[in-house]
Structure 1
């Protein structure tokens, strides 16, 4: 009994030891996993620490650069402050000088206003004289232009004369064509018809045979060809008449247009002829105006000086 009980106790102890061993092995595995996790976290913290060190190093470098820049700014500010103080002093001195000049400048301003009014009056006179001078010069220039217009009128007259001669030539050509048409339509056709009647009478008076019929048919054919030739000639003459009438109409329109242009130019010539009578007087007036203008410019220069 006692031996059996000991065996049971020994078996229980071994069982417990095995359970503890399994539990310890599991615990060891768990601890190893936790250690791995801790190592990863440690490495992550180390990496982050390195990044922070690098960032702090960069920031220290930036701060050092900024301190240098701030020191330069301080130097510039001190220098600008000195310059500003000097400028303020100069400004005060200039303000005092300006006040003195303003007090002493009242008489000069009054005199300047008087001179400015005089200059304005002189400028108005100069402008008026220039307008008169320009107007007179335009009139004189128009007088010289009239000579060119006279030549244009004569050239247009010659063109009108040429057009009139061409119209007369076309009219005469039309008359000849009309006369020829009358002669062809009355004389030629009448002769042809008379010949046909004569041939028909001959056929009727003779015994009708094959030769007579053939001769009659030949005569008819010849007569038809002559009539066709006459009609063709009449058509050609009619086309020529139509072309001539169109040309005459166009030339008449062109002549009317040229005559209207010449009429306007002749009216301008009448105006220019009146200007020709005024040209010597205008030239004399222009010389007087030019002299007055030079005197006014001299007076203006003296006032400005």
Structure 2
């Protein structure tokens, strides 16, 4: 059975519970993923809320004046970095379905002194924007939180302008690579591992939604120790990983990837600046 057919309401609730109980700081994640130069552009309050799985903005090639949609803005690091790159003439729409996360991002944006960010409450399976509204979509460790990934990808295609681009980071796993005792742990879903797709399956979903020029410029294995940096994984889940996953596989229980793609749309793609 496709993982897109899992119980959406139950998954949504466990993700809400996990993200509402994040501890005071997850700065270790930020320092693992981002350069010192990037973090110097971001308030400490955003660094303390980092929960991403890669630095996809290195591959996003955001241009001045563009409209960028950040799916699952979280603590605000990527929103702020994107807003600086699109400049005052551009705009970043920071989407999250949790008001708590939107408030965190809004506070960080205000502290950064940015006025080109719009906070938007909503679900990525039903993005509250009109068709053809954005030039780029970014997200970091977010799409795997949805049990309806095909719907998320279709919504991305809907709100992108023809020739618009997507650059997202997330976790991938091979089929049947994790024991069921781990996959059924709620915190494994919140940590993006239980809901992770194989890379090939993710690419197929993008192709079916009308994306082209799909490219994976970054792959990085994620170990059990890496998972332990994320408070969304409970100590019980981490211990299960150590007990049930063979030692030789514990250095790569998942792979963090960055995926880039262009939305073909119904007409010719516009010229690139």
Higher helix proportion (structure 1 or 2): 1
TM-score normalised to the size of structure 2? 0.14
Higher strand proportion (structure 1 or 2): 2
Higher relative contact order (CA 8 A, sep 6+): 1
TM-score normalised to the size of structure 1? 0.13
Please identify the structure whose Cα radius of gyration is greater.
Answer: 1
